């Protein structure tokens, strides 16, 4: 039993750049043809495509945050009525410029939904400013226009007809006779056509004869230009906005951008005036209300003063406080005098006649002070005299009498003074209490008065503020500056932005190279068939490749003839030459050489190869026998008529009475070529090949022929070839280019490693001329056959 063998998968090899390029360079005619076709298409595209130009305008949006307090919204902002709303940001302004409403106003103002085209030239061009006719739309029914657009009945050709015009619908062929200046009803619109007196032929080679008028809905035109319009902020820290528009008609694009800015400014001014008018109305209403409230506050202040007998509450409060201070001082003085009087009275009552009364105590009563002084004088005089005399001295007695009398007077004066002081003290206490009550009432009155004054101040300030804002708003309403300052009016580029010839031509060349490359790459990527020698060598290097058989093209026959100088004949000569190196050892044997021709599956060219190999050997003077080794599906009759009905191998193996050489027939193809057909189709071919006569069969034919070529059955489908492979000196394993799958190449490798096949060599059949080198690659052509132009083209391509 053969040892189980796991085939070695080919190692990943380094990429050969030349080989990879060769895969594509062999198709260089495809690349040339594709580049040529794309260049032609590019030239036609550039010739018939209407160029588009870029138009740009620049504006500066005035910063609302930097406005002066005289702004129409500043009044509300200062009043706190729009606090938190903020001013419009630059993004909002950009959104407004892109809005459908703004573009709709622009399109309506310019009447862009009506277009004129000059059809005199190959490429229709739009007539915009220099139009031979003027068209005014009196009334437009959008719904009727939309219905007409669905039927493509909104285009009219205009032609001169005497003194009038003829309008013909390009779709319905309906005609309208039109006179200059008279309205005509087109079904969806009433229009008036007149001659354009400003029309000039300076920009026209001649007066346009075929003028096409096309009507479009405003909505569709608005959407078209909204998609084209680009509004970009040049810098995030600035308010400079750039508007750009791409359109085939430069003048139209310029007018649209300028009109768009005009509509933006007009609407901004209208909004500004509307706000200013609303602001003025609001201020007037508020002034009337504040005026009434101010009158009410002032009347209340007057009534409060009258009720409380106030002139100036601050001055009166200060006066009250000053009086209270005086009364306190006076109360202290009276209290002091009262205490002094009480002390003097007590002293008088407790003292003796010789005691002096205190003087200069601060008693303010001058009469009392004088009496005290006189009393002390009398006491001093008595004491002086008494020091030199007695109490009985008449002078002393007289002085004692005077002293007693003066003492009584002083006491009486002090008592009277004390009574007066007590009365004064009571009066001062009463007056102080009254002033104190007035002072304590001042804060409440002052609080009420302050509240009244506060209301008055607020109303006055608000009244003056509204008066100021009314004047500022009047100035703002009188001066209406545009919101967008135009930096650059719309201007168009000198060269078109599309199509760009250099880019289009470069793209054509790239596509011309890329598409064939992708096609070839994808085809190679998805290709699972063997195409060339490289595919075989990439899968396995264990089995040599001894020959390549080209694909038959044109009128070439399938069989080689005598003195044949075709590429097919030469390929088989090379195959025979290569076989000699593989059959060195077999050439020393006295018997003939047995060559098996097999393949993996049906249809890979075994019979074709067997016959042509036999013809090549026969042409070399060798005696050759072709044996039909496929007992299940004989194929020798393809090249030898009637071979299917002949008795052959199966009959010899079954019958013991048949002579082998009686079954061999002379071929009609060559005198050195004989045939042994497969014979009758047996029910058990595998069992039949195991017959002991099989060895006798091969020994006898090899003994009588130089070469025995056996056309065997497909190896993968049946085991017949494996059963008889031991009799082969060399096994030619057919692989058909474009037919055999690459994964099937593992089968012969496994069969060889398992010992089922021996001395195996590949023969690549049906190779495309682009892959087949000999006779083409090096420009060496055999025979006198003429190649077609495409054949020569491909032959030269193969060299690269």
Please tell me the predicted confidence (pLDDT) of residue 508.
93
The pLDDT of 619-630, averaged and rounded, is: 91
Report for 22-31, 357-366, 487-496: range of highest mean pLDDT:
487-496
The pLDDT of 166-186, averaged and rounded, is: 82
What's the CA gap between 55 and 129, in Å, rounded? Answer: 17
Please tell me the predicted confidence (pLDDT) of residue 322.
65
Q: Out of 365-374, 435-444, 731-740, pick the least confident.
A: 435-444
Residue whose C-alpha is closest to residue 57's, from 496, 492, 498, 497 = 492
Name 599's bridge partners.
734
CB 368 within 8 A of CB 406: no
Q: Out of 453-467, 636-650, 744-758, pick the least confident.
A: 453-467
How buried is residue 750: exposed, middle or buried, by Cβ count under 10 Å (0-12/13-18/19+)?
middle
Kindly list the distances between the CA atom of residue 140 and the CA atoms of 114, 144, 218, in Å, as whole numbers in the listed order: 11, 9, 10
Please tell me the predicted confidence (pLDDT) of residue 786.
47
- The percentage of the chain sitting over the pLDDT mark of 70, rounded to a whole number, equals 78
Rounded to the nearest angstrom, the gap between the alpha carbon of residue 104 and the centroid of all alpha carbons in its chain is 26
Q: Out of 154-163, 598-607, 751-760, pick the least confident.
A: 154-163
Between 510 and 684, name the one with better pLDDT: 510
What's the CA gap between 283 and 287, in Å, rounded? Answer: 6
Grade residue 320 by pLDDT with cuts at 50, 70 and 90: low
How buried is residue 788: exposed, middle or buried, by Cβ count under 10 Å (0-12/13-18/19+)?
exposed
**Which tokens in the block code for residue 543?**
């089995």
Grade residue 435 by pLDDT with cuts at 50, 70 and 90: low
The pLDDT of 699-715, averaged and rounded, is: 91
Question: Is residue 334's pLDDT more than 80?
Answer: no
Question: Is residue 439's pLDDT more than 70?
Answer: no
How buried is residue 44: exposed, middle or buried, by Cβ count under 10 Å (0-12/13-18/19+)?
exposed
Residue extents of the structural domains in the chain: 17-49+499-526, 53-270, 313-478, 533-799
Please tell me the predicted confidence (pLDDT) of residue 269.
82
Please tell me the predicted confidence (pLDDT) of residue 310.
59
Grade residue 39 by pLDDT with cuts at 50, 70 and 90: very high
Please tell me the predicted confidence (pLDDT) of residue 65.
47
Grade residue 428 by pLDDT with cuts at 50, 70 and 90: confident
The pLDDT of 744-772, averaged and rounded, is: 86
The pLDDT of 181-191, averaged and rounded, is: 84
Q: Out of 438-452, 466-480, 508-522, 556-570, pick the least confident.
A: 438-452
Grade residue 3 by pLDDT with cuts at 50, 70 and 90: very low
What's the CA gap between 703 and 650, in Å, rounded? Answer: 20
The pLDDT of 33-51, averaged and rounded, is: 90
- The percentage of the chain sitting over the pLDDT mark of 90, rounded to a whole number, equals 16
Grade residue 586 by pLDDT with cuts at 50, 70 and 90: low
Return the ∠ at Cα 712 (arms to 708 and 715), rounded to 5°: 140
What's the CA gap between 750 and 762, in Å, rounded? Answer: 14
Please tell me the predicted confidence (pLDDT) of residue 770.
64
The pLDDT of 176-180, averaged and rounded, is: 82
Please tell me the predicted confidence (pLDDT) of residue 774.
47
Please tell me the predicted confidence (pLDDT) of residue 437.
61
Question: Is residue 541's pLDDT more than 90?
Answer: no
The pLDDT of 51-67, averaged and rounded, is: 79
Q: Is 167 helix (H, G, I), strand (E, B) or coil?
A: strand
Question: Is residue 731's pLDDT more than 80?
Answer: yes
pLDDT single digits (tens) 145-155? 888 777 766 78
Please tell me the predicted confidence (pLDDT) of residue 797.
45
Please tell me the predicted confidence (pLDDT) of residue 309.
57
Between 402 and 636, name the one with better pLDDT: 636
Please tell me the predicted confidence (pLDDT) of residue 261.
92
Grade residue 12 by pLDDT with cuts at 50, 70 and 90: very low
Please tell me the predicted confidence (pLDDT) of residue 685.
86
CA dihedral 270, 271, 276, 279 (to 10 degrees): 140
Please tell me the predicted confidence (pLDDT) of residue 103.
92
Between 541 and 359, name the one with better pLDDT: 541
Question: Is residue 205's pLDDT more than 60?
Answer: no
Please tell me the predicted confidence (pLDDT) of residue 707.
93
Kindly list the distances between the CA atom of residue 754 and the CA atoms of 74, 188, 636, 742, 749, in Å, as whole numbers in the listed order: 100, 88, 30, 20, 8
Q: What backbone torsions phi and psi does residue 149 show, to the nearest 5 degrees? A: -65, -35
Any idea how long the chain is? 800
Question: Is residue 88's pLDDT more than 70?
Answer: no
Cβ within 8 Å of residue 38, ≥6 positions away:
508, 509, 511, 512
Between 297 and 416, name the one with better pLDDT: 416
Please tell me the predicted confidence (pLDDT) of residue 408.
79
Q: Is 345 helix (H, G, I), strand (E, B) or coil?
A: helix
Rounded to the nearest integer, the mean pLDDT of the chain is 78
Its CATH class, for the domain covering 533-799, is alpha beta
Please tell me the predicted confidence (pLDDT) of residue 496.
86
Please tell me the predicted confidence (pLDDT) of residue 465.
81
The pLDDT of 245-256, averaged and rounded, is: 90
To which residue do tokens 């399938």 refer?
558
């Amino acid at each position: 039993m053969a040892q189980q063998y796991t085939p070695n998968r080919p190692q990943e090899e380094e990429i050969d750049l030349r080989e990879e390029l060769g895969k594509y360079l062999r198709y260089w005619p495809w690349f040339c043809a594709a580049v040529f076709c794309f260049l032609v298409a590019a030239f036609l595209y550039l010739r018939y495509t209407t160029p588009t130009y870029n138009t740009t305008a620049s504006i500066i949006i005035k910063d609302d945050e930097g406005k002066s307090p005289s702004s129409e919204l500043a009044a509300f902002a200062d009043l706190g009525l729009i606090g938190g709303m903020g001013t419009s940001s630059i993004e909002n302004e950009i959104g407004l410029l892109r809005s459908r409403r703004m573009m709709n106003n622009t399109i309506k103002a310019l009447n862009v939904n009506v277009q004129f085209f000059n059809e005199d030239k190959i490429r229709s061009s739009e007539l915009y400013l220099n139009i031979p006719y003027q068209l005014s739309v009196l009334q437009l029914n959008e719904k009727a226009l939309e219905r007409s657009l669905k039927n493509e009945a909104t285009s009219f050709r205009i032609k001169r007809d005497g003194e009038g015009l003829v309008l013909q619908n390009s779709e319905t062929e309906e005609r309208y006779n039109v006179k200059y200046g008279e309205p005509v009803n087109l079904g969806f619109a009433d229009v008036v056509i007149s001659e354009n007196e400003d029309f000039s032929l300076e920009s026209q080679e001649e007066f346009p004869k075929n003028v096409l008028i096309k009507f479009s809905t405003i909505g569709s035109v608005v959407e078209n230009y909204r998609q084209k319009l680009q509004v970009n902020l040049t810098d995030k820290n600035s308010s400079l906005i750039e508007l750009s528009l791409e359109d085939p008609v430069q003048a139209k694009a310029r007018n649209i951008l300028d009109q768009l800015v005009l509509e933006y400014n007009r609407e901004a001014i209208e909004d500004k005036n509307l706000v200013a008018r609303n602001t003025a109305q609001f201020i007037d209403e508020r002034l009337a209300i504040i005026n009434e409230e101010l009158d009410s506050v002032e009347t209340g202040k007057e009534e409060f003063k009258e009720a409380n007998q106030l002139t100036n509450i601050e001055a009166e409060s200060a006066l009250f406080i000053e009086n209270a201070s005086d009364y306190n001082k006076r109360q202290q003085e009276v209290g002091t005098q009262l205490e002094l009087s009480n002390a003097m009275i007590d002293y008088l009552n407790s003292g003796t006649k010789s005691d002096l009364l205190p003087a200069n105590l601060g008693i303010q009563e001058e009469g009392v002070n004088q009496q005290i002084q006189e009393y002390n004088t009398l006491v001093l005089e008595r004491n002086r005299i008494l020091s030199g005399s007695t109490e009985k001295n008449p002078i002393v007695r007289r002085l004692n009498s005077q002293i007693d009398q003066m003492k009584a007077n002083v006491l009486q004066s002090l008592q009277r003074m004390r009574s007066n002081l007590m009365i004064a003290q009571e009066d001062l206490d009463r007056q102080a209490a009254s002033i104190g009550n007035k002072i304590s009432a001042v804060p409440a009155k002052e609080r009420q008065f302050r509240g009244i004054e506060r209301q008055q101040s607020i109303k006055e300030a608000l009244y003056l503020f509204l008066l100021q804002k009314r004047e500022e708003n009047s100035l703002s309403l009188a001066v209406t500056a545009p919101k967008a300052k135009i930096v650059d009016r719309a201007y168009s580029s000198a060269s078109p932005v599309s199509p760009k010839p250099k880019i289009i031509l470069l793209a054509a060349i790239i596509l011309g190279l890329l598409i064939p490359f992708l096609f070839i790459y994808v085809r190679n990527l998805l290709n699972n068939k063997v195409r060339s020698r490289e595919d075989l060598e990439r899968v396995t290097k264990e089995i040599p490749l001894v020959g390549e058989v080209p694909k038959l093209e044109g009128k070439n026959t399938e069989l080689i003839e005598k003195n044949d100088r075709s590429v097919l004949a030469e390929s088989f000569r090379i195959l025979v030459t290569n076989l000699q190196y593989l059959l060195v050892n077999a050439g020393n044997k006295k018997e003939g050489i047995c060559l098996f021709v097999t393949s993996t599956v049906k249809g890979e060219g075994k019979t074709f190869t067997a016959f042509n190999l036999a013809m090549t050997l026969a042409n070399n003077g060798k005696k050759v026998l072709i044996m039909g080794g496929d007992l299940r599906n004989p194929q020798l009759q393809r090249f030898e008529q009637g071979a299917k009905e002949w008795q052959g191998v199966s009959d010899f193996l079954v019958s013991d009475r048949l002579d082998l050489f009686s079954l061999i027939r002379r071929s009609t193809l060559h005198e050195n070529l004989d045939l042994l057909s497969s014979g009758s189709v047996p029910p058990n071919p595998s069992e039949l090949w195991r017959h002991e006569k099989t060895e006798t069969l091969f020994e006898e034919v090899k003994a009588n022929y130089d070469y025995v070529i056996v056309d065997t059955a497909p190896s993968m489908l049946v085991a017949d070839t494996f059963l008889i492979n031991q009799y082969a000196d060399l096994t030619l394993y057919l692989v058909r280019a474009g037919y055999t799958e690459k994964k099937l190449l593992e089968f012969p490798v496994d069969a060889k490693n398992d010992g089922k096949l021996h001395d195996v060599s590949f023969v690549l059949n049906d190779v495309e001329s682009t892959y087949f080198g000999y006779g083409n690659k090096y420009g060496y052509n055999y025979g006198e056959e003429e190649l077609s132009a495409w054949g020569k083209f491909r032959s030269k391509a193969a060299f690269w």
